[in-house]
A and B are shown apart, each in its own frame.
Chain A
Amino acid sequence: MLPELNLKPRIVTSEEVIIRETSALPVTLQCNLTSSSHTLTYSYWTKNGVELTATRKNASNMEYRINKPRAEDSGEYHCVYHFVSAPKANATIEVKAAPDITGHKRSENKNEGQDAMMYCKSVGYPHPEWIWSKKENGMPMEIVNTSGRFFIINKENYTELSIMNLQITEDPGEYECNATNSIGSASVVTILRVRSHLAPLWPFLGILAEIIILVVIIVVYEKRKRPDEVPDDDEPAGPMKTNSTNNHKDKNLRQRNTN
């Protein structure tokens, strides 16, 4: 008996698509099962491994239409064909788009010694390379982990930067996560602020000492200039502390007035 020749199914697909922000024209993905020696049972589309709802059909010609393509619609699409007593077959169409960062913290405020966590979420395909940098004088500089306190976790559309044991001298600033793929790149900034409890204490005490010294100088200077003056709690509107000569003068003047 001659073995049956099994023809591998051939699927013809449409071209890969690049979604640009500028053009919002609808996109149609097409798969055509051109030759197969087995009976087709059903077929459907998947995006990034997940079956898309309401796409299951029994047709060799498959179409998937994206009406208003956006970055979220990008990914790896498969048209999958299932057969009777034969392995399934699929073809891949890549829908690419530049990354767009959809989630991040605008600012992170922590106390000195605590841990900070900053993250960025993106959409876009192919999955981007992530780079974290810190803005020094307005220019992004890549983060150097000399102190060993920086930890970066990169997943497909997600990245996380953790800083352990925050130092108030080096760590505060603007941190930028940058997502780059073959189509384009995007980046956003998170501001890290580190609160310190003790740092202002020294200047505070210094100023306190300065003020005490100032007050002492002022009061001592005054006492030295006029040692016979009474201390400063005098009542200007209280009883007159004049000597008798003054009273004498007043009496004279009063007499003059009544004349």
Chain B
Amino acid sequence: MARRSEPPDGGWGWMVVLSAFFQSALVFGVLRSFGVFFVEFVAAFEEQAARVSWIASIGIAVQQFGSPVGSALSTKFGPRPVVMAGGILAALGMLLASFATSLTHLYLSIGLLSGSGWALTFTPTLACLSRYFSRRRSLATGLALTGVGLSSFAFAPLFQWLLSHYAWRGALLLVSALSLHLVACGALLRPLFLTEDPAVGGPGAQLASLLHHGPFLRYTVALTLINTGFFIPYVHLVAHLQDLNWDPLPAAFLLSVAAISDLVGRVASGWLGDAVPGPVARLLMLWTTLTGVSLALFPVAQAPTALVALTVAYGFTSGALTPVAFSVLPELVGTGRIYCGLGLLQMVESIGGLLGAPLSGYLRDVTGNYTASFVVAGVFLLAGSGVLITLPHFFCFSAPTLKPQDLVTEALDTKVTLPKEGLGED
């Protein structure tokens, strides 16, 4: 079977985009809308809200820390069987949860089992997507990630309806069936064989080479810093608005505005990332800096119009940096190592995400308002964008988009000389 020397940049790739779209909806949309179930769990098990919210926290943690496992398995077996297995696990977790008799039962079934399933689906799919596209990689990623935002809009009312009609056990059963669509999405991930694949070796060899790869390590640091500051407004915006004496309804409306501008930002940035020549890392730095600035300005804004403007800016810029963040990686490590690279990256950057929210909560408790939290978040983002400057080829203003194969040759310390790009020899 022929190996491609270049990603197809279209064709079946668009089906992969569709698959990734539904998967991000089914993984993150479900996670984000799960808050609807919490009220029911609190009443059913007579537990405190804080203990119930651990269900989602465990799920997110398992999904992120398990990413390298999903990546390693995808490198060995291809994304399709891994994602399909992940879909079965995620659905199984929800199914078992519908029979739960205690909160611990839910921690294990939804948190651990479904979390593991999600770990096997999301990262391999995004990596697969990066392999299918090179010129339009950012746009494809941006389009796929819109699934997260759109599903949050759709799933929250859907889950509420399920709860009122079927009670929480029946609702979980149907969410399990919904999650099973991940298997169908996985079936769409046709394996793709690129020329640099055999040269990069199996998962063990890839991991070893990645850990010695300077730019990759620096990028991991940058993204971890960015991740620390990134989630803070999601968690604290509503509380901050309440501190400023906003009513709940306008505050919720403002969150919807942020979600919409996030969506627009993702697609616009995806398109822009492909249209602008040169390393995508520069665009990432642009968006990250702007996000950091808008975050730092939050405490200064008091008037409603200023807050709305800042929220729109934050939504747009933070949405814009997501697809670009995923596009930088294949430029750094090559599409051959993308699975392992993405998995490792997700695992390390999740540490930032886990630390960020409690840190800002602590700052708020100590200082009495959210000023320090927002400023610190902005600082983390700016620090992350600063580290991005150290990435290779950052200052090449007129260099064409670097081919992944070139970077693989640079990075790999192997005696086997790789076949360079086809040059019409095919």
Residues of chain A at the chain B interface (Cβ within 8 Å): 107, 109, 172, 193-197, 199-201, 203-204, 207-208, 211, 214-215, 218-219, 222, 229-230, 232-242, 246, 249-250, 252-254, 257-258
Contacts and interface: CB of A to CB of B under 8 A. Distances in A.
Contacts of A258: 417
B355 to A, nearest CB: 34
B198 A240 contact: yes
Interface residues of B, number: 48
Contacts of A197: 169-170
A242 B417 contact: no
A172 B171 CA distance: 16
B253 to A, nearest CB: 23
A241 B193 CA distance: 10
Given A215-B183, A218-B187, A237-B197, A196 B167 contact: yes
Interface in B393-417: 417
Contacts of B183: 211, 215
Given A234-B191, A237-B200, A242-B1, A214 B184 contact: yes
B30 to A, nearest CB: 15
B75 interface: yes
B190 interface: yes
B44 to A, nearest CB: 8
B202 interface: yes
A208 B180 contact: yes
Contact of B81 (A107, A214, A232, A240): A232
B177 A235 contact: no
Interface string B169-191: 11101101110110110011011
A230 B187 CA distance: 15
A207 B178 contact: yes
B161 interface: no
Closest 10 interchain pairs by CB? A200-B170, A207-B177, A195-B167, A214-B184, A218-B187, A200-B166, A236-B197, A253-B419, A215-B187, A200-B173
Contacts of A109: 43-44, 167
- Of A203, A219, A236, A253, chain B has the most CB atoms within 10 Å of the CB of A236
B29 interface: no
B77 interface: yes
B334 interface: no
6 contacts: A200-B173, A214-B187, A219-B187, A240-B198, A246-B2, A252-B425
B174 A235 contact: no
B174 A203 contact: yes
A222 B189 CA distance: 11
Contacts of B194: 236
A214 B186 CA distance: 11
A197 B170 CA distance: 7
A109 B203 CA distance: 51
Contact of B177 (A195, A199, A203, A246): A203
Interface in B1-32: 1-3
B193 A222 contact: no
- Of A195, A207, A237, A246, chain B has the most CB atoms within 10 Å of the CB of A237
A240 B3 contact: yes
Contacts of A172: 164
Contacts of B169: 195, 197
Nearest to A240: B198
A194 B168 CA distance: 11
B184 A218 contact: yes
B193 A236 contact: yes
B212 interface: no
B184 A236 contact: no
B192 A222 contact: no
Contacts of B188: 218
A196 B169 CA distance: 9
A250 B419 contact: yes
A196 to B, nearest CB: 6
Nearest to A207: B177
A234 B197 CA distance: 12
B417 A257 contact: yes
A194 B170 CA distance: 11
